[in-house]
Amino acid sequence: MTLKASLASAFKDKRLPCRVRGCEKTWLWEGIEQARWMRDGKTDPPQRMCPECFGKFNELVDVEVPCAREGCEGSWTWTRGARLAALARDRTEPPLDRLCGACRERSKKIDGVEVPCRVRGCDGSWIWRPEERMRADGGEGTAKPPARMCEECYQRFRAATDQPVPCRIPQCDGEWIWSRAMQVEAAAAGQAGPPKRMCGECAQVLGEVEDRPQPCRVRGCENEWVWNRFAQVEARRFGSGQPPARMCDECYSELGRLEDRDLGCRIRGCDNTWVWTRNMQLEAKQRGRNKPPRRMCDRCVTEINRFEPRAVACKHEGCEGEWTWSPESQLAAALGGRTEGTPRRMCEKCADFLKGAKPIELECASCKVAITWTREHQLNVALGVWVKPTLCADCRRASATSGSGV
Ligand SMILES: [Zn+2]
Ligand SMILES: [Zn+2]
Ligand SMILES: [Zn+2]
Ligand SMILES: [Zn+2]
Ligand SMILES: [Zn+2]
Ligand SMILES: [Zn+2]
Ligand SMILES: [Zn+2]
Ligand SMILES: [Zn+2]
């Protein structure tokens, strides 16, 4: 066995990565060459191109590219090595931000400038580097710096992803996109979460509507409340489209001062109560009524349906008139345990007669003493039951006694 052969067998052929950045191919390092490499005392393996890259490299030539600074006549050399690396990353055009050698030298003499972060609410800054300034205006300070983020904002921007956020209208399933830029701005302003926003469809409706004043729902109140645009979006997209019944601000705060009140049932003999709610009180107040109304309790409201108005004969003998026994007093009678019979009352005509009548002074036909003709007696005479008196009580008794004695 020759020396060459034994060396070759000690080192096996190896595949090593192509040295062109971005290229994933390999080249073959033969065992025999590895042996030579080791013998020369080199430890790191050589940096070489894969056969494809090497082939391309041989076809490429260095290119002169104009200086990035406007107005500069200089150029820089895009070497075939750099072109090959660019090719590996699918780039065939030279970078456009590079300066010629002279400009690069001059840029070393100017300073970087601190520029405020472009994110609203952020007080960070970034450095506008000398080469960039050179590109912009030759370092003369006439160009405006570009809008850029500070490092912190930029890192946040890179780490963030656009996020879908639910529409702020509770019934809506829509979403809007909280962009990375908006997230960075929110973080700079110290806001933790996304703002409240509408989805695109809701936002469109919002753009079509305007705040609308509506009448206060409290009867008797002439104030208005404002049906705002947000509420209108909700109503138009997910409701009836009609404004809700709502109170004006004044009524609302008045309502806050009121309390529900328990009031006694208006039916005589009933101990139950009914609730005069705050809303009812408010309405009464708006109509200038401060006294609570007289109402029945819930039970009486139901119970009263058992009764019908009843015509009852006047209590006065000889009167054909009737009076009406109302369901309410029938209910009161029932609650008081008076279930039998009807109350004795006079008809309206009789009541009117008594109201209009006055006691009349008469003279006894026999002894001339004054006698009082009462209203009740007058009524009975009018009804044809009794006769108008002519004698005083004493003369009447005397005549009755003598009469009976005859
Ligand atoms: Zn390669
Ligand atoms: Zn230049
Ligand atoms: Zn910033
Ligand atoms: Zn929506
Ligand atoms: Zn009102
Ligand atoms: Zn009651
Ligand atoms: Zn009568
Ligand atoms: Zn008399």
**Structure confidence at residue 2 (pLDDT):** 58
Average pLDDT rounded to a whole number, residues 4-11: 62
Cα(83) to centroid of ligand 2, in Å? 20
Cα(228) to centroid of ligand 4, in Å? 16
**Structure confidence at residue 5 (pLDDT):** 58
pLDDT in tens, 285-303: 888 888 899 999 999 999 9
pLDDT at 406 over 50: no
**Structure confidence at residue 404 (pLDDT):** 47
Cα(320) to centroid of ligand 4, in Å? 76
Average pLDDT rounded to a whole number, residues 188-205: 92
**HEC assignment per residue over the chain:** CCHHHHHHHHCCCEEEECCCCCCCCEEEECHHHHHHHHHCCCCCCCCCCCHHHHHHHHHCCCEEEECCCCCCCCEEEECHHHHHHHHHCCCCCCCCCCCCHHHHHHHCCCCCEEEECCCCCCCCEEEECHHHHHHHHCCCCCCCCCCCCCHHHHHHHHHCCCEEEECCCCCCCCEEEECHHHHHHHHHCCCCCCCCCCCHHHHHHHHHCCCEEEECCCCCCCCEEEECHHHHHHHHHHCCCCCCCCCCHHHHHHHHHCCCEEEECCCCCCCCEEEECHHHHHHHHHCCCCCCCCCCCHHHHHHHHHCCCEEEECCCCCCCCEEEECHHHHHHHHHCCCCCCCCCCCCHHHHHHHHHCCCEEEECCCCCCEEEECHHHHHHHHCCCCCCCCCCHHHHHHHHHHHHHC
**Structure confidence at residue 149 (pLDDT):** 96
Average pLDDT rounded to a whole number, residues 304-333: 94
Cα(333) to centroid of ligand 7, in Å? 22
* Ligand number, closest to the Cα atom of 72: 2
Cα(374) to centroid of ligand 8, in Å? 17
pLDDT at 219 over 90: no
**Structure confidence at residue 40 (pLDDT):** 87
Residues with CB under 5 A from ligand 2 (ion): 67, 69, 72, 74, 100, 103
Average pLDDT rounded to a whole number, residues 363-370: 92
Cα(381) to centroid of ligand 8, in Å? 20
Q: What percent of the chain has pLDDT over 90?
A: 70
Cα(361) to centroid of ligand 7, in Å? 24
Domain ranges of the chain: 3-59, 63-106, 258-306, 308-356, 358-406
Cα(263) to centroid of ligand 6, in Å? 11
Cα(217) to centroid of ligand 5, in Å? 7
**Structure confidence at residue 8 (pLDDT):** 52
In this prediction, residue 4 has a pLDDT band, given cuts at 50, 70 and 90, of: low
Cα(235) to centroid of ligand 7, in Å? 63
pLDDT in tens, 75-113: 999 999 899 888 888 888 999 889 999 999 999 999 999
Average pLDDT over the chain, rounded to an integer: 90
Cα(195) to centroid of ligand 4, in Å? 14
**Structure confidence at residue 401 (pLDDT):** 77
**Structure confidence at residue 28 (pLDDT):** 93
Average pLDDT rounded to a whole number, residues 204-214: 95
Cα(327) to centroid of ligand 6, in Å? 13
